[in-house]
Amino acid sequence: MRKLIAIFMLVGASLTAVADDKTINVMGQANVSAVPDLFQFSLYIEEKGPVVSKLNETVTDKTNKLVSFLLKQGVKERDIQSMHVQLYPWYEHRDSGSEQKGFVLARQIQVSLRELALYDKVLDGVLKLGATRIDGFQHNVENQQDLYLSALELAVKNAQLRAEKLASSLGAKVGKVVSVSESSAYRPMAMAMESRMLMKDASGSMAGQMNIDAQVQVTFELVQ
């Protein structure tokens, strides 16, 4: 079960009271934390040679084997993306200059792994089946937008709390909301990993937590 931690940010508020129109403007902040539930990476199949059609046959065959292996490990079809393909000239550099020897055909396969305990088995398997290299390691949370909306809701409550505290110190009360605006924005984020060595022993790996922040600017009516 994903662990969520909601934190009200009570420091650094922007608070102003305007006497003329009897309103109070506050910034509400909140933070929601979640333990990552996805491990994502990209693997590549690269082949070089003089005939593009043969390169395509080899890359397609290796792709099918890799995808079949991933599916057998429990990776869902929706968590495998293999549409990105590149074709570029293959040159060999010599003292006399560069000579084109053929072409390089490369396919990128992006994988989202939900069972982190399968990390080592999956990476070892794809390397044995012909993956040329693997990179882009990162932890992620699947439903980040839902978490951001939760943080946004908490930020509104935080703004209400701040306004009530400030109004109380002025001997007044908070009335209806005059205006509200979103100061932050939803931006998907991930926790990058520098290399495979960071998770050499998957059973002992700690994904840590990801923090998602939200801010709102709210103006309340000030009632004397």
Per-residue pLDDT tens digits for 111-144: 999 887 888 899 999 999 999 999 988 888 888 8
Window from 64-68, 89-93, 110-114, 217-221 with minimum mean pLDDT = 89-93
The pTM score is 0.64
The DSSP H or E segment spanning 126 is: helix 119-128
User: Residues 14, 27: contact at Cβ < 8 Å?
Assistant: yes
Residues 6 or more apart from 10 whose CB is under 8 A from it? 158, 162
> What digits encode the pLDDT tens for the residues 153-209?
999 999 999 999 999 998 899 999 999 999 888 776 666 554 443 444 444 455 567
Contact assessment for residue 66 and residue 126, using Cβ atoms and an 8 Å cutoff: yes
Helix-strand-coil split of the chain, %, nearest 5: 30, 45, 25
Specify the amino acid at residue 50. P
Q: Can you say whether residue 12 is alpha, beta or left, with left for phi > 0 and alpha for psi between -120 and 50 degrees?
A: left
Beta carbons of 223 and 171 less than 8 angstroms apart:
no
Q: What whole-number distance in Å separates Cα of residue 17 and Cα of residue 24?
A: 5
Helix/strand/coil for 132: coil
Q: Decide if 4-36+143-223 and 38-138 have a common fold.
A: no
- The residue ranges of every structural domain in the chain are 4-36+143-223, 38-138
Helix (H) or strand (E) holding 51: none
Neighbouring-strand partners of residue 113? 39
223 forms beta bridges with 173
Annotation: CATH topology of 4-36+143-223:
Translation Initiation Factor IF3 (3.30.110)
CA-closest candidate to residue 215, choices 185, 189, 183, 177 = 183
Q: Which CATH number fits domain 38-138: 3.30.530.20, 1.10.3720.10, 3.30.70.2970, 3.40.50.720?
A: 3.30.70.2970
- Containing 137, the helix (H) or strand (E) segment is strand 133-140
Are residues 162 and 26 in contact, defined by beta-carbon separation less than 8 angstroms?
Answer: yes
